[in-house]
A = this chain, B = another copy of it.
Amino acid sequence: MMKLYYTPHTCALATHIALEEVGATYATTRIDFASNQQRSPDYLKINPKGRVPALVTDRGVLTETPAMLAFVAQSFPAAGLAPLDDPFAFAELQAFNSYLCSSLHVAHAHRMRGSRWVDSGDAVAIAAMQRHVPQSVTAGFEQIEHDMLKGPWVMGERYTICDPYLFTLAQWMEADGVDLARIPRVVDHRRRMSERATVKKAIAQELGGPLR
């Protein structure tokens, strides 16, 4: 049985929702950031990068949300979460998810994880990064609003693995200081996602999950 290592309020939620969407049988284990459990020797054996999420499969451990999402789609093809046999359509989907991980999530991370990119004691530079987050994250969501979100779902009529990923990053918009009035289609997408039973179940499970 697969096992998803997650922390609430992280991008692990995207894969969690996808596992619900395909009806997978899986377990979850919560990793506690407050005690720095993601850097513990036990967890580093699972994911040497010391990050969540990680997905333990019968073949080994997978990391990185775009890869995990495509894995879920490809492992459960009947759920139709990705156009696996159409190289161009699959690449469009992957380009969207790649933008989320390499641009939008990175812009967001400068609010809480600035010490990845400057010396951890440099409070001035870390504060400078934090001040810029509303602008950079809003710009990222505006790009999605205007050029990438086809509607009603990210890739158009078909719900895909892009949708839980966008929804997950859209959880952080208020805390990032995003001007929601500028991205009504993204906000509407988030609302429709939040009404799905699969999404409600994944969120409830994460927030209610016991610490290991």
Contact = CB atoms under 8 A, between A and B. Distances in A.
A122 to B, nearest CB: 5
Given A94-B64, A95-B62, A132 B119 contact: yes
B119 A94 contact: no
**Copies of this subunit:** 2
Interface residues of A, number: 47
Interface of A is mostly: helix
A124 B117 contact: no
A91 B118 contact: no
A112 interface: no
B136 A64 contact: no
A185 interface: no
Interface of A: 48-49, 57, 59-60, 62-68, 70-71, 74-75, 87-88, 90-95, 98-99, 101-102, 105-107, 110, 116-119, 122, 124-125, 128-129, 131-132, 136, 143, 146-147
